[in-house]
Amino acid sequence: MVSGESRARLSGVYALFDPLAVEPIGFTEALLRGGIRIMQIRAKAGIDGATLIAIVTRVRAAGGIAILNDDVGLARLADGVHLGQEDAAALDMPSVRRAFGTRIIGLSCGTPQEARDADPALFDYVAAGPLFATASKDDAGLPIGISGARAVVEATELPCAVIGGITVERVPRVRESGAAMVALASALVCDDPESAARTCVEGWG
């Protein structure tokens, strides 16, 4: 489990991106200039270690957190890993926790019960969604809405990121869920990701 100080950093705008869908280094730098300090590299098709290290180095230099999805081995080069329910179920999570030490481990939760089942001794935050309909994730499921997200937030003591179909314009509304983090993916892949990032950070407050 991470320290209280580290867990306190799990707040604000949380960016997710596929390193094959953007130029990863330039995109990371643009998001950092826009003020985003939490990033998940959603590398479903994998990522080479050199690119991951380059991203992580830049995020850390800006005082941020870089998280890799799914790959617990490669994620040791980053600040943490994010797991889906099936991913976590297939792993010996106490062993993963011991191996990760103070690195962050996040878990996707679509229901309040899944959030309640997320052991704070094993996980450091949960991600609830999809909030709205989304095309960014094929298996995202039906939208849970603001009230559904709030139910997940209230079911756990862990910081919660809300994700799914969140546009730049919707960021302020997500505050109503009580989540610690608002997670965006496709909304940041645009002609001016730095400006989009800045608008999100300002909208979150």
Query: Cα separation of 106 and 200, whole Å?
Result: 22
Torsions phi, psi of 40, nearest 5? -115, 125
The interaxial angle of helices 24-33 and 193-204, nearest 10 deg, is: 40
Does the annotation count 42 as an active-site position? yes
Does the annotation count 137 as an active-site position? yes
Does the annotation count 136 as an active-site position? no
Contacts of residue 27, defined as CB under 8 A and 6 or more positions apart, other chains included, come to: 17, 189, 193
Structure tokens at 47: 């990522």
Query: Cα separation of 107 and 205, whole Å?
Result: 25
CA distances from 106 to 29, 72, 183 (A): 23, 11, 13
Q: Which listed residue (97, 103, 108, 198) is catalytic? A: 108
Q: Which listed residue (97, 103, 137, 198) is catalytic? A: 137
Torsions phi, psi of 125, nearest 5? -160, 160
- Write out the catalytic residue numbers: 42, 108, 137
